[in-house]
Structure 1
Amino acid sequence: MYKSISSSQNPLVKQVLLLQTKSKIRKNQGEFVIEGLREIDLAIQGGYKIDQLLWCEELLPEKHFKKIEEKTGSPTVRITKEIYEKISHRKSTEGLIAIAKYSELLFEDIVLSENPLVLIAEAPEKPGNLGALLRTADAAHVDAVLIANPKTDLYNPNIIRSSVGCIFTNQIVQGSNEAILAFLKRIKIKSYAAALTPTSKPYFTFDFKLPTAIIVGTEDTGLSDFWLQNADEKIIIPMQGKIDSLNVSVSAAILIFEAKRQRNFCL
């Protein structure tokens, strides 16, 4: 038998709402909320500890719920559809919410391939952009995503949603610009900064077949002077229209998949 909750004043309901909306609460408690079968399953595969499951049987049949429950071994609370709709950040998820523990990698935890490809995103502020970058990184199977001078909480529900769970499939490390540069030097990776400068050269003129780090900045201000001065090369995606830039996730995808193309990743 599962414990059931039908009151919106229940402490667990209030806790989920706070975790959904308050970054400070998430950080202080070291917990965050995951919605949806796919996202929860990817988190489990990624080694995240699930503390609690909240299940709405009206939305998710028991046979599908059991497949996730068996993987977590976590306590489950049955909730009504009304409660689910109150605490759900996404109104289209399938009736399952998980409370999970934070998991933060350090630079020394990163496992690199023999010929690593790394994506660096400096100070991403928009959750949708960061989520899209993580989807791109997963699609290209990059070795790691390094977030320099982070401006947003990695476990913001909008990042989890826009990444479609790829926050759990990538090796992600957050750190200062200085710490990330020191890491690149330590592992001897050549860095390429995507930047609109007079000295930038078209990306397709470079050889990305050796260990490579692609660095992208924000759409509003681009990369800081730190990376313009410290990156090994500055690269540009030539534009033929009236604008001079692309969405950051689109730019990253073009550059990363050029590196993958050069490495014959389809063979």
Structure 2
Amino acid sequence: MKAILSTQNKYIKTLLQLKDKSRERKKTGLFLIEGVREVSLAIKGSYEIDTLLFYADLFSKAQLDDLQLSLEQTNNTEHSKRVPEFPANIIEISKDVYEKLAYRSTTEGLIAVAKSKPNLLKNLTFKTEAPLILVAEAPEKPGNIGALLRTADAANADAVIIANPKTDLYNPNIIRSSVGCLFTNNVVTGSTQEIIDFLKSKNINIYAAILQESVAYHTQDFTKPTAIVVGTEATGLSEDWRVNATQNIIIPMQGEIDSMNVSVAAGILIFEAKRQRNFK
């Protein structure tokens, strides 16, 4: 097993570029995952792991063996989705190297180098006849994107579509704030017009959370193929959604302000859809 002890190692410098620069992640098709749960979810979500790095004082070789065993058992379970093979490239790293690579101050000593997916809208398919989709237009804050992904995972949504993304999906802030839900959701990106055209071609009803020409969200039938579309708190949704929506919807506000955090609004709307579907 290889060991890297110096932060000046050429490979470690390459990994630091992946950690800090979206351009490098896009150019190489690689990104970093930090944490045992996140790495496990990525592998189970069919992400290919190129390399595992571990700091033995926090993540022992015995834990590494346990992780490998659990993934092998997942593959041996009847009807389970086949996950990629455990990576052959495993590197033990020093405390200095780990602290340089780690994004969080308190983690379990495990970092993976993974291969990104294309996340293309044209590849999106559904397993159900009445899919429930969460669409978010131009979310800027990685924390909000992470929260949206957690909401979609909790509701077992069929897909999350990011329109006009302002940051790449493999930003370490998104992975951290989603607690690995980036890997548990079916996530794709596209332009607003591409997404509208896609939804219409699939006969999916579009419910846009927008003030103009709207009705209260709970008056609508979300049991049919449904896309719930939310925008940013600052600017809301673009005009294209207003004019192309099956129905514009609003969450009635009873306080002094007229808006709420996008992830909170998405949670209210998507779980109303789940309630109507008897949480199926």
Instruction: Classify the secondary structure of the residue corresponding to 1:92.
Output: coil
Q: Does the CA contact (< 8 Å) of 1:50 and 1:74 recur in 2?
A: no
Where does the alignment leave 5 or more consecutive residues of structure 2 unmatched? 72-85
Shift of 1:209: 1.1
Task: Name the structure 2 match of 1:182.
Answer: 197
Q: Is the 2:133–2:226 Cα contact (8 Å) retained in structure 1?
A: yes
Equivalent pair of 2:54/2:91 in contact (CA under 8 Å) = yes
Question: Does residue 184 of structure 2 align to residue 169 of structure 1?
Answer: yes
Task: Kindly state the Cα deviation for residue 196 of structure 1 after the two structures are TM-superposed.
Answer: 2.1
CA offsets 1:143-189 (integer angstroms, 9 cap, x no match): 11111111111100000000000000111110111111111111101
Q: CA deviation at 1:13?
A: 1.3
Match of 2:26, SS? helix
Distance 1:123 1:108 in 2: 19
How far is the alpha carbon of 1:69 from its aligned partner? 4.3
1:59/1:81 contact within 8 Å kept? no
1:158 aligns with 2:157: no
| Pairing 1:241–2:255 present | yes
Shift of 1:141: 0.5
- How far apart are residue 55 of structure 1 and its match? 0.7
The residue that corresponds to 1:75 in the other structure is 89
Could you tell me which residue of structure 1 aligns to residue 222 of structure 2?
208
Matched, 1:142 2:157: yes
Asked if structure 1 preserves the Cα contact closer than 8 Å seen for 2:132 and 2:158, the reply is: yes
Q: CA RMSD in A?
A: 1.2
Name the residue aligned to 2:49.
Answer: 50
Q: Give, in whole Å, the separation in 2 of the partners of 1:12 and 1:92.
A: 23
Structure 1 residue runs without a partner (length 5+): none
Letter in 2 for 1:22: K
Q: Does the aligned pair in 2 maintain the 1:130–1:159 contact within 8 Å? A: yes
Q: Distance in 1 between matches of 2:167 and 2:119?
A: 17
Q: What is the TM-score normalised by the length of structure 1?
A: 0.96
1:218 partner letter: T
Correspondence for 1:61: 60
Question: Which amino acid in 1 is paired with 2:87?
Answer: G
Q: 1:226 and 1:186 mapped to 2: Cα distance?
A: 16
Alpha-carbon deviation of 1:74?
2.9
Q: Verify the 8 A CA contact 2:134 2:228 in the aligned structure 1.
A: yes
Cα distance, 1:66 vs. partner? 1.8
Instruction: Give yes or no for contact 2:50–2:87 (8 Å, CA) kept in 1.
Output: no
Deviation at 1:110, TM superposition (A): 2.4
1:127 aligns with 2:142: yes
2:217 is equivalent to residue 217 of structure 1: no
Q: Name the SS for the 1:78 alignment partner.
A: strand
Aligned-partner Cα distance in 2 for 1:256–1:126: 20
TM-score scaled to structure 2, two decimals? 0.91
Q: Structure 1 CA distance, aligned partners of 2:141 and 2:25?
A: 18
Q: Secondary structure at the match of 1:174?
A: strand
Supply the distance in 2 between the matched residues of 1:23 and 1:108 (Cα, whole angstroms): 23
